Chains A and B, each alone.
Chain A
Amino acid sequence: ETGVTQTPRHLVMGMTNKKSLKCEQHLGHNAMYWYKQSAKKPLELMFVYSLEERVENNSVPSRFSPECPNSSHLFLHLHTLQPEDSALYLCASSQDLAIQGRGTRTSTQYFGPGTRLTVL
């Protein structure tokens, strides 16, 4: 138990469906992250939120839409996905983000168990 939960754990959806992934952290952290892990590929960072504000968006297609209503919750809204979007989606949180120009203070990220997504 890392203190980061994700629901659902498994999701199968059609290309025309709209669904949402939910992440919740019980650690009092200020930063949250969405990652995508496809088969036989390294982890890809998708979105970063710090204090509920999006600070990084790594060229993710618009069919993925993140939402961070408060520092404990992070959503990933999915619509009109493609079969190649099938992957493991991982949420993580950390106490703080490293801010460029303010030294090298960084934070360990705590990961949730992931949502296994299959797009038919």
Chain B
Amino acid sequence: KNEVEQSPQNLTAQEGEFITINCSYSVGISALHWLQQHPGGGIVSLFMLSSGKKKHGRLIATINIQEKHSSLHITASHPRDSAVYICALKTSYDKVIFGPGTSLSVIP
């Protein structure tokens, strides 16, 4: 079993839809990052979470430490949200583990 998994692997949505991307992990962590990678490779760090919930614009990230689960929500999705979304863990032993990513395509 992989230490971090994401679902779905691929997602196609219509513009305006509410989107949820999930991340589950099996190791102890000190923080969890949600990253956004656009075509061409550039990566932007969206959130760093160690507990609770964070909101930035149309993006909301939550984490449940007990259940070892985090979700990234996008409200009112837009074609410019099309990207790969990556969940990354900073483990309790200072190791960084990246999830396989979720490829999101938002259609006008």
Contacts and interface: CB of A to CB of B under 8 A. Distances in A.
B31 interface: yes
Contacts, number: 57
For chain A, what secondary structure do more than half of its interface residues adopt (helix, strand, loop), or is it mixed?
Answer: loop
Which of A42, A56, A100 has the most C-beta atoms of chain B within 10 angstroms of its own C-beta?
A: A42
A98 B95 CA distance: 10
A99 to B, nearest CB: 8
B76 interface: no
Interface stretch (B19-27, B43-51, B56-64, B67-75): B43-51
A59 interface: no
Interface residues on A, range: 20 to 34
A109 to B, nearest CB: 6
Interface of A: 2, 37, 41-45, 56, 88, 90, 92, 97-100, 104, 106-114, 116
